[in-house]
Every structure is written in structure tokens, then in C-alpha cells.
Amino acid sequence: MSGSVQVIKGRGALSNPANRFHQHIIVRDSDEYSMPHSDFVSCGKIQPKTEVHEVEAKTIISRNKSPDLPFEQSVNPYAGCEHGCVYCYARPTHAYHDLSPGLDFETQLLCKVNAVSLLEKEFSKSGYVCKPIVLGANTDPYQPIEKQYKITRNILKLCLRVKHPVTIITKGNLIERDLDLLADMAKLGLCSVNVSLTTLDNELKRTLEPRAASVQSRLRVIKELTKRGVPTGVLVAPLIPAINDSELEAILTESAKAGAHSARYILLRLPHEVKELFSEWLHSYFPKRARHVLSLIEQSRGGKLYNASFDQRMTGSGIFSDILAKRFTLACKKSHLNTEDKERLNCLDFSIDGLSSSGQISLF
């Protein structure tokens, strides 16, 4: 490991760079990291604390027309994510809150306390069209602060009441708390879950995604969800050339053994500030391999570290990307993954009859 950058225990990012919207950047010679929060430095060691800011969101459903996303609607109860995945493509969104995509993203969290009431209002609109909502498209709905705020759980209660379908993406084991709701929704064809699994190596997980659930916990989540009749798949994401891509077949095999019925993968995405944050992490943890890894990424992204084209941003292009796709297809076939469509959700029974005339329902 390189000693040029101080590793921060329990955090993914190694620095807190100014976001891309800042016009002026102040650099202090005595402060290597130029962090805006005084509690980041204590006794000569960087010790960033998690702070939660309760906010009133103006809107709650994000809509997209991207041809490479299998959904049109998503809800994110939280902005920022304490799991601290250094590679997270959502990090740049923190810039819209005038915060850094670096350590701020995993320590300065925004909790949308009015998320459920906003969702009720959306459902009650006369022109609302029921389409599956994805929880976790941007930040994890089961990150640690969900244990206190229970916004995700209350969203599920609302969706069950009005029979609205939901798909969840998570790498948190807190989802086991909601097995009761998910099982009831699954009986009505109202939910599916994709567990994100990046590696089977807990040591690599510790540095890549320091506060996410352990490998064993995530495999247990797949098993428990499947036992309750919840359609469950595995999302192998991201695949990082020369870091975890060699694990692809093993991850799919173990996920299938745990009960997963489907699988998808995403090649590492490095939009905006994530390029520098990931490169910093890579040179710190894999200094001898860093140049090779970045070269393979560039070969898969048209000579750049990132290509946002719809037809390439998820899987890349070029020889390495093509080989990866073939390996994935073959591994899925061997593990009997993606053999049937269990994720088709029921949009036909949606009804706002469960809402009172004021648009409010009892969630407790």
C-alpha cells in the first residue's frame, strides 16, 4: 500500500475534493485534505463523523427515459450513502447539494423526511400511471440510518396498501428487517430484489465498500428472501478490470447456490469526480497494479476513463468488454440463472382506495 495518502478507517474515499461547481478553491498548506468540517481532524488523524441532515424534498419520484435502464421511475429516500463505496457512480450528485462527492458523500447524509407524504400525493394525482418504482437506483435504501428513520419501510407499507410494485437494489442486510412486508408484497406480485455483490473477498470489500454488509450477510439475504418467495437476483457491480473481474464466475455460482434466480453485471463507471476518487484509492491500495487497471478501463471506454453513451456506459466496448460479456453469459448458463422471468411485476391492481380523502394513510 502506498503511503502517499492517508487511509481513513471505515471510509471509502481518501479525500474531500471540491465539487465541480465550485468556482474558487482554497488550498491550505497545512491541511492536506482541505475539509470543511472541523471534526474531520482529531489528534493528527482524520476521523470523519457521520452527520444526518433532515430535509424537506420538493419532489420524490425521479423519472428517466434512458434506453439502458430497465425502469422508468425511482425513489431515493436518502442523498449520500454511509456504505462508502469508493466507486459509487452516485457520488457526483452530492455536488448539487454544494457538498463534496468525496468524504462528504458518505458522512454528510440528507434524509428526506417527507418522502412518504410526497409519494402519497404522487399516487393520488389523477394522471398518475402505475409503473414499478426502483428503491436504490442512486443510493442504498438500506444504509445504516434507515434503521432509525424507517423511511424505506414506510414506503413499502404505502406501496403494499395501494398495491404498487417496487424493485429494490441493496447491499445492506437491514432489508431482513422487512421480510414480513416483502413476503406479503411478493404474494401479490408487487416486489423483487437485486442484491449487489461486488466480491467474495471480505478484505477487498472492506476497502471498496467499507460500511456495506459482509459477503456472508449478503448471501444470507439472498437465501432468506428466496425462502420467503421474494424474486431475488444478484447484481455483480461494478466489475473492475484486474481487481475483481476474475471473481465473476464464482460470484454467480455462490449467488445461485443461495437462491438467486437472475443476474446482471455493470462495468465500472467513473463519471465526473469519481475518476479522481477511484484513481486515488487504486494507487493507494494497488500501486503496482494501478496503471494496468486504468489502461484496461480506458480500453473498454473508447480510450477514456468514462464513456456516458447509452449503448456503452453499463457494459463498455472493446475486446475486454466483449470477453466479459461472453464469460457472464456462459457462467449464467452453468448456474441456471436468467432462465425465467420472475421479476415481471403486477401493475394492474394499483388502487388509491387505500388512501383517505386527505391523501394520508396510517403507516404505523
> Residue 147, Cβ neighbours under 10 Å: how many?
12
Domain regions of the chain by residue span: 38-347
Query: What is the rounded average pLDDT of the residues 178-184?
Result: 98
Least confident residue range of 1-5, 21-25, 80-84: 1-5
Q: Does residue 26 surpass a pLDDT of 70?
A: no
Q: Does residue 359 surpass a pLDDT of 80?
A: no
Q: What is the pLDDT of residue 21?
A: 75
Q: Does residue 39 surpass a pLDDT of 60?
A: no
Q: Does residue 27 surpass a pLDDT of 80?
A: no
* Among candidate residues 110, 92, 81, the one with its CA nearest the CA of residue 17: 92
Q: Does residue 78 surpass a pLDDT of 50?
A: yes
Query: What is the rounded average pLDDT of the residues 224-245?
Result: 97
Q: Does residue 358 surpass a pLDDT of 90?
A: no
CB burial of 245-261 (b: ≥16 within 10 Å; e: otherwise) equals bebbeebbebbbebbbb
- The Cα–Cα gap between 77 and 53 comes to 12
% of residues, the chain, pLDDT over 70: 88
Quote the mean pLDDT of the chain. Answer: 89
Q: Does residue 225 surpass a pLDDT of 90?
A: yes
| C-alpha distance from residue 36 to each of 7, 28, 81, 180, 321 (Å) | 18, 11, 18, 42, 39
Q: What is the pLDDT of residue 31?
A: 36
Q: Which CATH superfamily is domain 38-347 in?
A: Aldolase class I (3.20.20.70)
Residue/partner pairs of 8-11 with CB below 8 Å, 24 or more apart: 8/46, 8/47, 8/48, 8/103, 10/84, 10/210, 10/211, 11/48, 11/84, 11/103, 11/106, 11/107, 11/210
- The Cα–Cα gap between 298 and 292 comes to 10
What is the tens place of the pLDDT at every residue in 306-356? Answer: 888 877 878 999 999 999 999 999 999 999 999 987 668 999 999 998 676
The pTM score is 0.88
Q: Does residue 98 surpass a pLDDT of 50?
A: yes
Quote the distance between the C-alpha of residue 215 and its chain's center. Answer: 16
Least confident residue range of 45-49, 92-96, 267-271, 302-306: 45-49
Hey, which residues does 192 pair with through a beta bridge? 167
Q: What is the pLDDT of residue 281?
A: 97
> Residue 194, Cβ neighbours under 10 Å: how many?
24
Q: Does residue 8 surpass a pLDDT of 70?
A: yes
* Among candidate residues 137, 87, 99, 96, the one with its CA nearest the CA of residue 271: 87
Q: Does residue 200 surpass a pLDDT of 70?
A: yes
CB 250 within 8 A of CB 276: no
